[in-house]
Every structure is written in structure tokens, then in C-alpha cells.
Structure 1
Amino acid sequence: MDCKVVLVQNNPALGHLHHNLEQHVATVKAAIDAGADLVVFPELSLTGYFLKDQTYELGLEPDAPILAPLLQLSKRISICFGMVERSREKRLYNSHVFLEQGRVLSVHRKVHLVTYGMFDESRDFAAGERFDCVDSRLGRFGFLICEDMWHLGGTYLHFLNDVDALIVPSASPGRGADAGGQGLANVRIWQTLLGAVSLFTQTFVLYANRVGWEDGISFSGQTCAYDPFGRRVGLLEGFDPGELALTLRSAELQRARAVTPLRRDEKPWVLLGQLERITGLNARRSTDPT
């Protein structure tokens, strides 16, 4: 899966879809000029995060005509971006879209909506019900949108699906002071989590977080990437917009999985049997509309 990736740390204008789309197009064109194969934007990168009553009017289908410029550019580079998705049933989802070769290749709907602290995502969004991976021309990718990363289920499913990289788009606000007052507590926690997941799943982990302010809340940025050994291989420090470029190499995946063959020795059938016993439920049929 050797490929060059650009992770974008943007500051979308809240509710200004057309302006944000123009910024996306400009960023994608710059990534093409830089020779990148894939560009990844943060969570809800087309709209901003704290949308409240604007959520419904900003909902679009992933192949809506307004998004044609991105679809056209995806013939030259693979593109991942965040949007409010409106389904055919008029449900709204916090979704991340993967465009490639002029078409919508995949849409991941955020499964774990945040409803604690300052967050109330379930007020406006329906929850997704699947953790599918996408087979791209560049490799196999799995998506975990922000809070999805904090729940083991999605990570484990992507591990079993043998993904080459986890794409983690985020809109994480800065919260808490780290020990010694040298940084933000949530940044340290995020980086610990990202490194641990990359180590245990033996995949590249690509974290694209936004910056800027909304409703008095500051987003913490610190877009970064980890290799399959749990080592950080790139970081955008600070709280300004920017891009992080890096190269993913198949040899690193192969080496990590040969040194410690976690996938070979995994026993998912043991977990499945115990999950059914603990919960008293069989896996329920998904009612998530397609």
C-alpha cells in the first residue's frame, strides 16, 4: 500500500458550506500538486461542528451535485472528508466520505454519538450501525470518527478485517491541563490512545483533527500519524491550520506483523461465544438503511 498521504488540519467556517467547499477544493489541488495519493480531512470538515439548528439544512447526499468538484478531483487523488449526510429516508448522519476515481467509494456513519459533557450529537444525528472497511486502489482502510475510536468494538473489527490503515477524523475540543501545565490533557490522552491502537492492531493510524473556535470552544488540532509499531511518525504542533504529509509503506506493515503475529494467533470465535453469553443476545440484524 505504498502511498503518500496528506492529513489536513482545517478550520471550517461554521455553517458556510460553499466557503468550506472552496477551501477543500484548493487544499486537494495543492495535495495533487505535491504528488499525494490521498488527502484526509477532519470530522464534519465541510460544515463545522456545533451546527445545532443548521444541521438539517446542511444535510446532503454524498453524491449531491454541489460536491461535483470533489468527485471530479477524485479522479486524480483519493479524498476523505466529513459532512452531514442526509439519507434517502431523511435521516441525518455524521459521516465521512471516501471518494476515488470519480465516485463515492465508501461512507462511514459515526456509530458512537457523543452525549456527555458539552456534546449532544444524538439530538441531531442518527447513529450508524456498521464498521465497514473500504478496499481502495491504495489499500484497505477502516474509519473511526472521533468517539468511535474510544470504543474497542470498531477497532477490533477493523483489526479482524486486516486493514492497512485506520483513518480517524476528529473534531476534538481542547480540555483540561496536563500535568505540569505544559499542555492540554485531552491531547496527551488522544496521543496515548492513538499509539496504543496502532501497536495492538499493527496498522497505520491517521488522525486528522480540526482547529479554530465555535461557540467559545477551541478545537485542539495536533493532527498526527502512527506506524504499525506504535511510533508517532508525524505531528502538526500548535493550533493553526496546516497539512501533514507522510508516506505509508507496505514493508512496515509486513515487518510488524511478522515480528509479532497477532492476527495469526487471534481467536475471535472465543470472544463471540462469550459475548453472546454475557449479553444474552445474538447479534441483532441491522436496521440501518443503505
Structure 2
Amino acid sequence: MQVAICQTSPQLFAVEQNLEQVIERIEHHRAQGAGLIIFPELALTGYFVGARYHEMALRLDSPQIARLAAATKGTAAVVGFIEESRSMNFYNAALVAVDGEILFCYRKINLPNYGVFEEKKFFSGGKRVPVFRLGEFNVAVFICNDLWHPSLPYLGISQKADIFVTIFNSSQGSMGSEFCNIESWQIINKFYARIFGIYNLCANRVGEEGPEKRREVDYSDGATPDAPGSFSFWGGSEIINPFGQEVVRARLHEVDEIGAVIDREMLRQKRIVLPYLRNDDPHFTQRELERILQGDKQYVTRRELRKVVRGEKY
């Protein structure tokens, strides 16, 4: 399956303008044979929407979403936006549309609420990690901070995901000078691909948001700090294969598009050569979580321990 990642620079608050650009790129890549087209987190709104989040929100029955879904006829797309539910909750969400139809919305589960991030102040959190079938592949979608909580990727793997679609908005300086977002995302993207033996399709955005705009600077070292009040989204979208190797990577700080062919045979090779998950037992994980959450005694008697060893305890 051919996939494409569109590393866009959405304009803050410009939903209609961003929508037109997303639809145009879907149509372009569909004509080029892409079976899956991916856009960053909040690709229709920009990131720092603040208290105006409700003005930017779209319902699944809105005409804009209908147009977006219709554009996927003959392909599939994952697009970040703000979703308003029928009960008037608001979500940092990813629309998953396949062959002209809305399949579902993935709703970001772990909402940051520290530093410059205020998502939990405005958005509700998602409740599910669904996996969907696309051709020969099982696909799980995650949004930014969700990938920093290992339990969520594990839930995707427990449902036999072959591909992670990871969409995010990562900017330089947003986590302070002691923490390098570029390096950290490169590590985490490769980690999940290598350990779980999956393709990781990672879409970050570019552009600047904030009250101050910087002059032209040299980004060649990939480590230019942000000016006060301005955050530079660094891009660097990438496709990682099941061995944790970079297939292709987008440019830093520039609008770019990348693509690759996802090969099921490579998934098979990884699971033969390095079958990390062969003996993984989700039921064991469930039992241990139940024990922890129910507050069972930390220590067991020797008799109970023997029962556990013999498999009689459970």
C-alpha cells in the first residue's frame, strides 16, 4: 500500500482555508495512487486555539466534514481537527475517512495541561483505542501525547495493529531548554516501531504561532530556539519500518510531503526474525492491573505463591 504524509502549515483559526488545502492534497495524492493520506494534529485549525476552540469545532454531520469525507473516495485519510459531539463536548480528534465515508473519529486521550499546553482546560478526553482494517493492514491512530503513555500503544498492539498513524504538533522550546523535542520524538517513533514490529507513520506540522513573528533565521542545525511568545513547529515527519529504521523523513521547518510503500512482507520478516510479542499475554496484563487496582496485599503467603507458580491461583 502506498502512503503519503502531508506536512502542512495550517493557519490559526482559518478552518475553511485549511480545509481547502487538505482536500486539494487528498485529491492530488489519490490521483498518484496513495491508499492512505495523513495530516498532522489539528490540521484544520492550528494549535493555539485557546478559548476560541468552540468557534473552530466541526460536528461529524457538518458540511465541511461531509466534503472532507467525500474527497477520500478511492483512498483513505486521517485528518486532525476539533470535533464537537452531539452532547456538545469538544475533542482534539482525528477524522478517519475511507472510500468516501466517515469510519470514526479517534479522540485524543491524554490531554496535556502544563507549560504552554492547555488542552485539558478546553477538551474532553477520548475513551477508546480503536483499530480499523485498511486493505491488508490493521491500523491504529494516536494523537501526540497519547504516544508518551505506553499503555495506549500496547492497546493497539493487543488488537493486532500493523501500522501506527501518529499525528502531532511539536514545537521547539515548548518544553523548555533542557528538553529537545526533535530528538525525543525521533527516539519514541523508532522505539514503538522496533519493539512492536509495526510501521509508524508520523506526521508533524510546520509554521509559527504566537503574537510575535521572527525574522528569517537559519534552521540548518535544527536547534534554533523560539522567540518569546512564538513557537516554531519543526516538522520532520517520518515513516519508520518495523525494524525501527527510517524509510523517509521530511524537511525541518518547511512544508513538505513524503511517501513510501508499506510492505506486508517486511512485517512478516520482522515477526519471524525478532518475535518480541510472540509470547505476550494480554490476559496476564489484565490480571495484574486488576490486582493492582483492587489493592490486593503486596505480599502473599508461601502457600499462595506455590499456587501461582502451579497456575492454580487463577
* Structure-2-length-normalised TM-score: 0.84
**Aligned residue in 2 for 1:240:** 254
Distance 1:189 1:100, change over 3 A: same
Measured in 1, the distance between the counterparts of 2:135 and 2:248 equals 24
- One-letter amino acid of the structure 1 residue matched with residue 34 of structure 2: A
- One-letter amino acid of the structure 2 residue matched with residue 57 of structure 1: E
1:194 aligns with 2:189: yes
Question: Following TM superposition, by how much is the alpha carbon of 1:68 offset from its aligned partner in structure 2, in angstroms?
Answer: 2.8
**Aligned residue in 2 for 1:262:** 276
Report if aligned partners of 2:59, 2:65 keep a CA contact under 8 Å in 1.
Answer: no
**Aligned residue in 2 for 1:223:** 237
| Correspondence list, 1:205-216, <5 A | 205-215=200-210, 216=230
**Aligned residue in 2 for 1:76:** 74
Measured in 2, the distance between the counterparts of 1:161 and 1:281 equals 28
1:234 counterpart SS class = strand
Moved more, 159-168 or 269-278: 269-278
1:192 counterpart SS class = helix
Which protein is bigger by CA-based radius of gyration?
Answer: 2
The one of 133, 141, 147 equivalent to 1:149 is 147
1:116 counterpart SS class = coil
**Aligned residue in 1 for 2:10:** 12
Q: CA RMSD in A?
A: 1.8
1:263 counterpart SS class = coil
2:202 counterpart SS class = strand
Question: Following TM superposition, by how much is the alpha carbon of 1:268 offset from its aligned partner in structure 2, in angstroms?
Answer: 1.9
1:55 counterpart SS class = helix
Question: Following TM superposition, by how much is the alpha carbon of 1:72 offset from its aligned partner in structure 2, in angstroms?
Answer: 1.7
The one of 100, 113, 121 equivalent to 1:115 is 113
* Structure-1-length-normalised TM-score: 0.91
Question: Following TM superposition, by how much is the alpha carbon of 1:139 offset from its aligned partner in structure 2, in angstroms?
Answer: 2.1
Report if aligned partners of 1:63, 1:104 keep a CA contact under 8 Å in 2.
Answer: no
The one of 249, 252, 263 equivalent to 2:266 is 252
- One-letter amino acid of the structure 1 residue matched with residue 204 of structure 2: N
| Correspondence list, 1:74-113, <5 A | 74-113=72-111
Report if aligned partners of 1:202, 1:257 keep a CA contact under 8 Å in 2.
Answer: yes
Measured in 2, the distance between the counterparts of 1:53 and 1:270 equals 43
1:60 aligns with 2:58: yes
Measured in 1, the distance between the counterparts of 2:107 and 2:276 equals 28
| Higher RCO, 1 vs 2 (CA within 8 Å, ≥6 residues apart) | 1
Question: Following TM superposition, by how much is the alpha carbon of 1:126 offset from its aligned partner in structure 2, in angstroms?
Answer: 0.3
Measured in 1, the distance between the counterparts of 2:286 and 2:147 equals 21
Distance 1:281 1:221, change over 3 A: farther
Gaps of 5+ in 1: 283-290
- One-letter amino acid of the structure 2 residue matched with residue 13 of structure 1: Q
| Correspondence list, 1:27-66, <5 A | 27-66=25-64
Report if aligned partners of 1:178, 1:188 keep a CA contact under 8 Å in 2.
Answer: no
Question: Following TM superposition, by how much is the alpha carbon of 1:76 offset from its aligned partner in structure 2, in angstroms?
Answer: 1.9
- One-letter amino acid of the structure 2 residue matched with residue 17 of structure 1: V
Measured in 2, the distance between the counterparts of 1:207 and 1:50 equals 21
Residues 168-205 of structure 1 show CA distances to partners (whole Å, capped at 9, x for unaligned) of 000111137999xxxx8211111011111101111000
Question: Following TM superposition, by how much is the alpha carbon of 1:137 offset from its aligned partner in structure 2, in angstroms?
Answer: 3.2
Question: Following TM superposition, by how much is the alpha carbon of 1:138 offset from its aligned partner in structure 2, in angstroms?
Answer: 5.2
What is the aligned residue count?
276
Report if aligned partners of 1:170, 1:208 keep a CA contact under 8 Å in 2.
Answer: yes
Residues 44-91 of structure 1 show CA distances to partners (whole Å, capped at 9, x for unaligned) of 101111101221121112242123332222112211101100001000
Question: Following TM superposition, by how much is the alpha carbon of 1:280 offset from its aligned partner in structure 2, in angstroms?
Answer: 2.1
Moved more, 255-264 or 96-105: 255-264
- One-letter amino acid of the structure 1 residue matched with residue 57 of structure 2: G
Measured in 2, the distance between the counterparts of 1:132 and 1:202 equals 19
Residues 127-174 of structure 1 show CA distances to partners (whole Å, capped at 9, x for unaligned) of 011111112235211011000000011111111111110000001111
Measured in 1, the distance between the counterparts of 2:136 and 2:29 equals 16
**Aligned residue in 1 for 2:305:** none
